[in-house]
Structures are given as C-alpha cells and as structure tokens.
Structure 1
C-alpha cells in the first residue's frame, strides 16, 4: 500500500484542480491520498466525485499557525468540517489570506511590479489566496523568471520588501481544535530549514502533550539529519512518523508519491479519527 498524506490542489495554492490531482495520484501508483489544501476543504467534493478505481481519499487540510513570529503548519485529517469552532477559525484564516494578499500586491506595485489583485485572484480561482499565486502573477508580469524567486528578501519571502504577516492560529490551539472536531493532527515539515526557522523540539513536545498524533519526517525539504532527529524525537514523545510529497502540481514538479507513509501508521491514524472517514472509489 502506497500512502501520500500531503497534497494541494487549485482549491488553495496547487496548480491542478482536485479531480486532476486524484487521477494523477492513481497514475503514480498511490493507493491512498490525503488532499490537504490550506485552510479549506473546498476541494473535497470534486476530488471525491472524481476518485479513480483503486484510490482512497483522506479528507484533510493544512492549517496556518504561528509561534513566536514563525510560521508553523499543521496537517489535519478526518475531522468534522462542520464543527463550529474549527469552521469559524478557517473562515478567519481565509479572510486574513485575502487581506494580506491585497497588501502584498499593493507593496509590489509600489516597487514597480505590474501585478494586480485581479490577476492574483484569477489564479486563486475562488480559493484562498496564497503567496504562490502572487509568485505566479509576478512570473506572468515578467518581474521574475520562476515562482521560487519570489520567496526572497527582495520580494515576498518572510521579512522581504513586499512581505506582509497575517493572522494565524497558535499551534497548540490548532491541535486542540482538530482533536475537538474528531480529527487527527500531524505537524508538517517541522525541521525544513530551507523554509526558514524550524520548530524547536520543546515546541513539538508541547504539541505532543496537547494531542499531536505525529510528525512529517519524510519530506523533500528535510535532509537526512533532520529526518533522523525527528525519528528520535517521535520515539521519545510517542508520536507517529509520516512521509508525504507536499505536492503542489507544476510548482513542485508533479511529485506525488515521492515520499510515503507506512501502511501501519496510516491504519493507526484512521483508527484515531472520529470526525470523518476515508472515502474509497466505488467499485467498477
């Protein structure tokens, strides 16, 4: 069984619609895929409706969190999307994304980059606006040659000239919200140094005490030392270890299935969930 527990569609900042993501997942030989768009579950109905034979979908979401001024990402699986408090927080997060996006577009205009909010919103296609949408608009405007060049101090990287911070959840509160909604929380790429500051071990221990299920150790942004450290820490804290592609379509090179989660860990995750269940494709 091949299990990928972290992927994105055009419902947030991926480049392909949910239906295309699930079809490609099966083409890549996956048996289980979690769709974890940022702060939204909007892509789930389309993904479920397009499930190819042999693929099971794990409904999920990647929640935006912040601790001590640094971004933290929490993967939430199999929660009840109608749970009032979690649903309200997701609404606040999406609204904050739009406000920040508009402000960054304004700052880019002041810096001479001919990008408009209308262009960025069109790329988001009704989903939550993220920095990758702005980066793609900058490429289209000829300001940069590739999207990754936007995430620097020169432009919209953290602390950059056009960067704007936004509202995000404290990760401990986020873990508790996911658990209260019957879901299972996993900390995404916590030692990805190339993304900026990493999540300290003490913070991971605090999250474990609050109900964290696992840590995403096998991720392309983790080197071997980071993976080894996370495995040791997970053992000490009684956490599961997951692996995922964090695929965003064209933005990340169509890498579904490049990292996977052990089947026994997936089975433990499903057993802990009470808010929702995996969705299997109908039999042919």
Structure 2
C-alpha cells in the first residue's frame, strides 16, 4: 500500500471537488488509501466508493464532527462508523439545520454592509450540501470583496469580525460517544489548531475517558512544539497517532499526502471499527 491520508473533504461539505474526484486525485497523487471525512455528512460515501474501486485505491469512509468547548471549535474525526446509527443520524441533522440557519444570519448581517445575498452563497455550494462559512467566503471572493478564503476568515468571517454568529455543536465528549456508539473510531482533528482549548485545559485525558482513540499529530496546523506535546500525550495515554492533509481542493492550500499515517495505525483503526468497512478494490 502507498501513503495513507486520513482527512479529506469534498464539495458535500466545504471542499471544492466532487467526492469521486477527491478519490481520483488521491490515486493520481500516489496514495494507497484516503479517508473522505466531510463535515457532519456521509453524502459523498457512495460516489467515493465507486471511484475507489475504479482507481484501485482503498477508501476509508468517515466524517468530521463539529464540536465545541466554550467559544473554541473542536473537530473530531470518525472513521468507519455506521451511517444509519440512530444517534448519528439525529445529531448530524441537527448540526446541518443549525449550520444553515447560522449561515443565513451571517449573510443577512454581512449584506447590510456588503453586496452579498443568500443567492450568491447558494451558487457556491453543491446541491444538497450543507452551507457554511466556507461557502460564504467563496461568494465574497467571487464578488471581489476579499482576495481569497483565508482573507475572508481573517477578516469578515473571523469570530471577532462583527458578523460571526454562534451555532449548535455538541461537546467533544458527546461527539466521541456518538461515533463510538455507531461502531466508529474517534480521532481528535488538528488539536493545536481549532482544538487548542483541549490542550490548554488539560482535558485530553477526559476525552480518552469518553472513548477517544487517537490524535491527528501530523497536520500543517500543528506547530512543532504542539506536535512534541501531542506525541508525548499520545504515548502516555496510549492513543493512536495519525497524519493527514485535510485536503479541501482549491479551498485551502493543503495538498493530498502532505502528511500521512503509518499503515500499522490504519490497520488498528480497521481492527477496532465495527460499524463499517473500508472499500478495498479487488
């Protein structure tokens, strides 16, 4: 098996590529396995599975759950969980509705000062995709209000930018519980980026108690001191260590395979999962 990338997004959430194109791009990049982990949705699994079989690459179906500690956003990756688990269906629908309502509130507020409408934002999302801040950012770019997504998130869409609106998200312990109850494997995504609150509060041990399986150490948003701390914590708490690109197509500079996961770690993820199975080409 070639390199393994366990974190990628399609246009079913906030990526720019179709699910099948993400998988084909991963195969073209020389990867042996890729995980599709769209935010709070499994809508891309079926298309990605077909592409994986056609492209000769292993697909790890997954999801990235949005969670919250106080004002801090924390993301939890769930691998190989049962998408029909009742609690999972209920939570992802609640998050989806909250995301859309929040996006509508933000667009209304921004529209008071800039020529932005809900129609502009809808034009930057795939049919059926949950609209969120990245789609608003893309609309702002198209309108020439900001240069790119990064500029949008550093300014107008920043949580201190004046237009930010809160939205529902479970506590990370709750997100982990939903993943585990659905037979999945839970990994804390880029803990030194959005999840710094977890590290500051020393609550990583609490997440392990809730069933956390691993931490995403090798990620461009984790700086070197944070990686050293995470590696020490992972050893102390017997956590799996993963590496990923967090690919979003043209939405972010992250490139497929820029960080990867040890094959032995993927084998352990597959061993622990009881909800779903990898898609393995014949």
Secondary structure (helix, strand or coil) at the match of 1:103 reads helix
Q: In angstroms, what is the RMSD of aligned CA positions?
A: 1.3
Q: Which residue of 2 aligns with 1:129?
A: 131
TM-score, with length taken from structure 1? 0.95
How far apart in 2 are the matches of 1:254 and 1:226?
Answer: 19
How far apart in 1 are the matches of 2:177 and 2:14?
Answer: 25
Q: Which residue of 2 aligns with 1:211?
A: 211
Contact 2:213 2:240 in 1 (8 A): yes
Q: Which residue of 2 aligns with 1:3?
A: 4
Matched, 1:265 2:265: yes
Matched, 1:232 2:232: yes
Post-superposition Cα deviations, 1:104-129, rounded to whole Å, max 9, x if no partner, equal 10111112x21211221221212111
How far apart in 2 are the matches of 1:119 and 1:205?
Answer: 44
How far apart in 1 are the matches of 2:195 and 2:279?
Answer: 35
Q: Which residue of 2 aligns with 1:139?
A: 141
How far apart in 1 are the matches of 2:156 and 2:74?
Answer: 21
Shift in Å, 1:216: 0.3
Shift in Å, 1:196: 7.9
Say which is worse superposed, 65-74 or 201-210, in terms of deviation.
201-210
Matched, 1:199 2:201: no
How far apart in 2 are the matches of 1:35 and 1:49?
Answer: 13
How far apart in 1 are the matches of 2:46 and 2:120?
Answer: 26
- Structure 2, gaps ≥5 residues long: none
Q: Which residue of 2 aligns with 1:222?
A: 222
Post-superposition Cα deviations, 1:24-75, rounded to whole Å, max 9, x if no partner, equal 0000111111000000000111111222333011110000100122100000
Shift in Å, 1:266: 0.5
Matched, 1:161 2:162: yes
Q: Which residue of 1 aligns with 2:32?
A: 31
Q: Which residue of 2 aligns with 1:60?
A: 62
Aligned length: 278
How far apart in 1 are the matches of 2:74 and 2:58?
Answer: 27
Q: 2:150 aligns with which of 140, 148, 151?
A: 148
Q: Which residue of 2 aligns with 1:100?
A: 102
Q: Which residue of 1 aligns with 2:276?
A: 276
- Structure 1, gaps ≥5 residues long: none
Shift in Å, 1:240: 0.7
Contact 2:216 2:241 in 1 (8 A): yes
